[in-house]
Amino acid sequence: MNKKILAAADYAQQKYYLEPEFSALPESIQEEVRVFCVLLAQKLCCTFLVGFHEDGSLYFETVKREDDFDFDDIGAELEIKRLQREKKELLRALELWYAVYFTEDGEKIRRELLEKEGNFREKA
């Protein structure tokens, strides 16, 4: 299954990256994604990635340094689960946004919504 990275933050290099393909996301959502990526990268002392599977579902990934034998995989999973709980609405909105703008079904949905909007405006 193909993956597309949305954003990544690296603890060691103190860098954040947002894939330019997703720069159309509203600024407030980009900022929320940046904040949780950077915070998790810092808390876990790793590179933290968030992205989309081709079906539109989000994935989270931690990449530890090769020499980091103390990395807590279980703690990382717990932090990701906490993020999923606390940011449930944001994450669902991201998946919906991706589905509408980046999948074949999304193209159909956009056309249907535009048609309905046009019909609604004609009736009003």
pLDDT computed for residue 90 by the predictor: 95
Helix (H, G, I), strand (E, B) or coil at 65: coil
| Residue 71: count of CB within 10 angstroms of its CB | 14
- The DSSP letter of residue 116 is H
Q: Give the C-alpha separation, 36 to 16, whole Å.
A: 11
Residue-level pLDDT at 123 = 60
Cα four-point dihedral sign 90, 91, 94, 95: negative
pLDDT of residue 100: 85
- Model pLDDT, residue 119: 67
Spell out the residues 6+ positions from residue 55 whose beta carbon is closer than 8 angstroms to its own.
1, 103
The Cα 10–Cα 41 span in angstroms is 6
User: Alpha carbon 111 to chain centroid distance?
Assistant: 24
* Number of domains comprising the chain: 1
The one-digit pLDDT tens for each residue of the chain (124 residues) are 689 999 999 998 999 999 999 999 999 999 999 999 999 999 988 999 999 998 889 999 998 877 767 778 888 899 999 999 999 999 999 998 998 888 888 778 777 877 877 765 656 5
Give residue 15's domain range. Answer: 3-123
What pLDDT shows up at residue 61?
94
Q: Would you state the pLDDT for residue 78?
A: 92
